[in-house]
Amino acid sequence: MTTSDNPLLQPWTTPYAIAPFERVRPEHFEPALEATMAEHRSELAAIANDSATPDFENTIAALDRSGRALARVESLLNNLTNAATSPELQAVDRRVQPKLAAHHHATRTDAALFAKIDAVYARREALGLDPESLRLLERVHLDFVRTGARLPVEARARLAEIAEQKATLFTQFEQNVLADESAYALVLSTEDDLAGLPPFLRDAASTAAKERGIEGKWAITLSRSLIVPFLTYSERRALREEAFRAWISRGEAEGPTDNRRLAREILALRAEQAKLHGYSHFAQYALVDRMAREPARALELLQKVWGPARARALSERDALLEEARALGHTHNIEPWDWRFFAEKVRRRRYELDESELKAYFTLDRMIDAMFDCASKLFGLRFERRSDIVAYHPDVRVYEVFARDGSAVGLFLSDNFARPSKMGGAWMSEHRLQSRNGGETLPIIANHNNFAKGSSTLLSLDDVKTLFHEFGHGLHGLLSNVRYRRLSGTNVLKDFVELPSQLFEHWIEQPSVLRQHARHQETGEPIPEALVARAQRARKFNQGFETVEYTACALLDLALHSREDAGGVDITAFEREELARIEMPEGMVLRHRLPHFAHLFSGDSYAAGYYVYLWAEVLDADGFDAFVEAGDIFDPAIAERLLRYVYSAGNTLEPGAAYRAFRGRDPVVAPLLAKRGLLEERESATS
The catalytic position among 469, 548, 574, 680 is 469
**469 is annotated as an active-site residue:** yes
Look at residues 199, 206, 214, 201 and name the one whose alpha carbon lies nearest to residue 240: 201
Q: Rounded CA gap, 410 and 393, in Å?
A: 17
Report yes or no: 249 and 184 within 8 Å, Cβ to Cβ. no
Q: Are the C-beta atoms of 236 and 435 separated by less than 8 Å?
A: no
C-alpha–C-alpha distance, residues 81 and 477, integer Å: 22
Q: Cα–Cα distance between 115 and 47 in angstroms, integer?
A: 11
CA neighbor of 491 nearest in space, from 238, 213, 135:
135
Q: Which residues contact 202 (CB under 8 A, 6 or more apart)?
A: 194, 218
Task: Give the residue ranges of DSSP H helices in 440-590.
Answer: 460-477, 493-504, 510-516, 528-536, 542-560, 570-580
Q: Is 90 helix (H, G, I), strand (E, B) or coil?
A: helix
Distances (CA, A) of 318 to 311, 313, 381: 11, 9, 48
**Pick from 591, 612, 598: nearest CA to 472:** 612
- Residue 458 per-residue DSSP state: -
Cα(341)–Cα(319) distance, rounded to whole angstroms?
Answer: 9
> CA 18 to CA 363: how far, in whole Å?
25
CB crowding 450-474: b at 16 or more within 10 Å, else e: bbbbeebbbbbebbbbbbbbbbbbb
Q: What are the residue numbers of the active site?
A: 469
